[in-house]
Chain A
Amino acid sequence: MTALRVGLLGFSGFGEPGEQDHQSSMYLPALVSRPDVDIVAVAATDPREAARAAAVAAQTGAVEAPGAAALLDRHDIDGVVVCAPLAQRAAVVCQVIEARKNVLADKPLALTGEEVARIATALHAVPVAERPIVGVAHHLRLHPIIVAATAAITAGRVGLPWNLQGDFVVAGGRPCPDGELPNLGVHAIDTVLALLGLPARRVHAIAAGPPRARESAIVLCVDHDNTVTSTISIARTGELAGFATSAVALHRYRVSGSHGTAVLDLSKPALRVHTAKGIATQWAGPGTVARLVGGWVGAALGANGTVIDVQAAARTAAVVDAARQSLRAGAPHDIAWPD
């Protein structure tokens, strides 16, 4: 079987380098479970990631490269999973593109639309025949209910949508130091854009919370084309029994259309198990990260596979950028929707 030869680059996300490590917690398990993936090399993007890089190298038998340049110089790597610190992420992704390696980047692809545009420019500067695949980890849009609902809505099951309401609430965990818009917000915004398939033109962002933590909840009121509106709430509450720290406690959407209404609860599908220890939910189907990784690996191997591309990242970044402006101004702000 042909296997995709993968390098893991960076073990960071929001916060200090090494603090948030989706590379180890999310992508590594999905990759090692696949027979069509060989993890060839790992590299830290910051000295504070060194211990994690060493641990993953030891766990997988991969080579521990001394840094990004050394990893990207290798001829035995086809694709790279990038979890560089947010401050460096755009630059690192561009570096991987210039090395002609396929990319799977943790979300957000970058903190601003300008940085996403820089990545897009770097990608389109590569001749088509050599152009690598760049996938972005907006994995929640791959939830099986979202995939099915998107197809149903596209097929006209609710007629013409005129409104969408969404809620995305996480239990516990440290508030994101860069604010929840580029963190939790990107997931919800991307899912809404996937469901509706419509440009977003204007957003009014309203922050909730006490004066010192105004973004413990954010409500985004978005105007789309065709007079369609959406309202998305994003919130982080305290620790909740039955939920791991920073787990999604509530994730749902309602799409109202000219001929019907779709109500989507993303806690399903789920088996509920009641024991003396509490209530747990389980499901045997592949998780969204596994689906994301599978799509990227398939696309990179030239087999059946789809990725969530840079355009998706550009669109969510545009909404996030405008929402930030709206929060500052206390008024609606136009979205510079990328063509």
Chain B
Amino acid sequence: MAEASTGVVSVAVVGTGKIADQHLAALRKSSRARLVGVVDINPARAAAAGYSHGGAPATTRLDDVLADPACDAVIICTPNTTHAQIGQACAAAGKHVLMEKPLATTVDDAAALHTAFAERGLVLAAAHTHRSWDYSRSVKQALESGDIATPRLLRLAILGGWTSWGDWRSWVLDPALSGGHPLHNGVHLLDTVCWWMGDRPVRVYARGAKNTSAALRIDDYLEMVLTFAGGGVAVCEMSRSHRPSRFAMRDVLAVGDEGIIALPDGSDAGAVHDDAGSGAIPAVPSDAFTRQLDAWLDALAGGQPLADSHDGVLAVIMAVAAGRSIDTGQPVDLADLAPAVDGVAR
């Protein structure tokens, strides 16, 4: 593995779907990293991605980038159930990794990834990108200010219609590839509220619904209620099933002993009413993917990523527990799922 402490970091991107575009755009803007290859099992997609990003070498074989001594690090953007295997291969090859969420789709796989990278002194960061968005950082700052004293109740709702999942051919709808909605999108909210609360989650009670079609094999609406060791509670809602289909809402509420923080829907948008109807004009945010990339690059130089592998493992534990709670109709204690690996679950 090449030393990556001060020079430009050479990065390959594995998986060239929609989310990879965000990472590739961040790489393009960065003066601290350069794209040295793209990998996709689909040769046409790989070629298109390479061509679109400065003619980066494109391949369908992961081993091509893993064997390349000029490649320092890898960003993994493949379907969720492939994360464990690809991550392990990267660790064996001595490459640092920024892993799209979820870290893995089972607790054991997530713990094993953490261990594999820790034992080799490699960086494994989880792309819990919501920690990098302006709204989320604002809430975190407001909570850390102490203005509302100890938060007792948090709410985070990210709701939308069926606009980004495509049709029955979407891999997200196949739990064998996505791991289900708590693992696919739920981890974003679970991680974010844990970060905000600054406390250890101990229990989850979750309910799900298949609103768009009863034939769905994943829930397109999730509600996950986390309880924390210090007594706080967080209600997380994630939806791709709201109507109208263009509906989009993000709502945040924090109630503390001495006040309320509210970021209601529309707080960061203008409004437009035209012949097509009414809609929001969101304020242009800072680029969360750039912020996330910079933090990862800092970690390669000895700093701390925004979300490390501990956070990634914890998010998987919470998501798997949420799935179990949905199935059983009962709350689930996270201790029942925590891996028996020292130091993995904080």
Contacts and interface: CB of A to CB of B under 8 A. Distances in A.
Interface string A223-254: 10001010101010110100000000110000
B211 A162 contact: yes
B259 A229 contact: no
Interface in B215-246: 221, 223, 225, 227, 230-233, 235, 237, 239, 242-244
A307 B118 CA distance: 67
A187 to B, nearest CB: 16
Nearest to A172: B258
Given A208-B231, A235-B255, A331 B260 contact: no
B89 to A, nearest CB: 41
B260 A257 contact: no
B255 A332 contact: no
Contacts of A238: 149, 256-259
Nearest to A216: B152
B329 interface: yes
B255 A237 contact: yes
Interface centre among A167, A209, A238, A256 (most CB of B within 10 A): A256
Contact of A214 (B223, B231, B259, B329): B231
B56 interface: no
B260 A240 contact: yes
A47 B237 CA distance: 50
A129 B258 CA distance: 53
Given A163-B221, A217-B255, A235-B153, A229 B207 contact: yes
Interface string B247-283: 1010001011111101001000000000000000000
B243 A257 contact: yes
Interface string A192-228: 0000000000001011111100101101010100010
A165 B157 contact: yes
Nearest to A202: B329
Interface in B162-199: none
Interface residues of B, number: 40
A104 interface: no
Contacts of B231: 207-211, 214
A263 B265 contact: yes
B257 A233 contact: no
B209 A210 contact: no
Contacts, number: 110
A210 B230 contact: yes
Nearest to B258: A238
B251 to A, nearest CB: 8
Interface in A244-285: 249-250, 256-261, 263
Nearest to A227: B209
Contacts of A259: 243-244
A229 B205 CA distance: 13
B157 to A, nearest CB: 7
A224 to B, nearest CB: 12
Contacts of B249: 261, 263
A235 to B, nearest CB: 5
Interface string B17-39: 00000000000000000000000
B148 interface: yes
Contact of B207 (A158, A221, A240): A221
B243 A261 contact: yes
Contacts of B255: 169, 217, 233, 235, 237, 250
A29 interface: no
Nearest to A228: B209
Nearest to B149: A238
A208 B331 contact: no
A159 interface: yes
Contacts of A61: none
Contacts of B243: 158-159, 256-261
B330 interface: yes
Given A162-B211, A250-B255, 18 more contacts: A158-B243, A162-B221, A167-B155, A204-B331, A207-B233, A208-B153, A209-B152, A219-B233, A227-B209, A231-B225, A235-B153, A235-B255, A237-B148, A237-B255, A237-B260, A238-B256, A240-B260, A260-B243
23 contacts: A158-B243, A162-B209, A163-B209, A204-B331, A207-B233, A208-B232, A210-B150, A211-B231, A214-B231, A216-B257, A217-B152, A217-B233, A229-B207, A235-B153, A237-B260, A240-B259, A256-B221, A256-B243, A258-B243, A259-B244, A261-B243, A261-B249, A332-B331
The 9 A-B pairs of least Cβ separation, nearest first, read A238-B258, A208-B233, A217-B153, A208-B152, A217-B152, A235-B255, A209-B231, A259-B243, A216-B152
